[in-house]
Amino acid sequence: MDNNHDRLIRLAEVIEIVGYCKAMIYRKVRAGTFPKPYKPGGASSRWSLREVNDWVASVKDAA
């Protein structure tokens, strides 16, 4: 797989992709219904682009 298909993205990009606010994203993470962030630099949170895209696809499939 090409490395460009999966990279760690910032919260701002997650918000743009899924259309949820920060609070809703973290609420869904706590509920186990959204991919958990990675902590590559201690306090900073990053999400896997592939995991976020897979989540979007699963939501579309369930609709």
Chain segment 45-55, per-residue pLDDT in tens: 999 999 999 99
Going by C-beta distance under 8 Å and a sequence separation of 6 or more, which residues neighbour residue 19?
none
Q: Residue 43: which residues within 8 A CB-CB, separation 6 or more?
A: none
Does the residue 46 lie in any domain?
A: yes
Q: Give 2's pLDDT tier (boundaries 50, 70, 90).
A: low
Q: Is residue 54 part of a domain?
A: yes
Tell me, yes or no, whether 30 lies in a domain. yes
- What average pLDDT is seen over the chain? 93
Instruction: Assess if residue 1 is contained within a domain.
Output: no
This prediction's pTM: 0.87
Question: Which range of residues forms the domain containing residue 48?
Answer: 7-62
Per-residue pLDDT tens for 6-20?
999 999 999 999 999
**Residue at 39 is within a domain:** yes
| Stretch 33-47: mean pLDDT | 93
> At 36, which CATH number?
1.10.238
Instruction: Give the rounded percent of residues in the chain with a pLDDT score beyond 70.
Output: 94
Instruction: Please state the domain count of the chain.
Output: 1
Rounded Cα distance, 62 and 48, in Å: 21
Cβ(53)–Cβ(36) below 8 Å: no
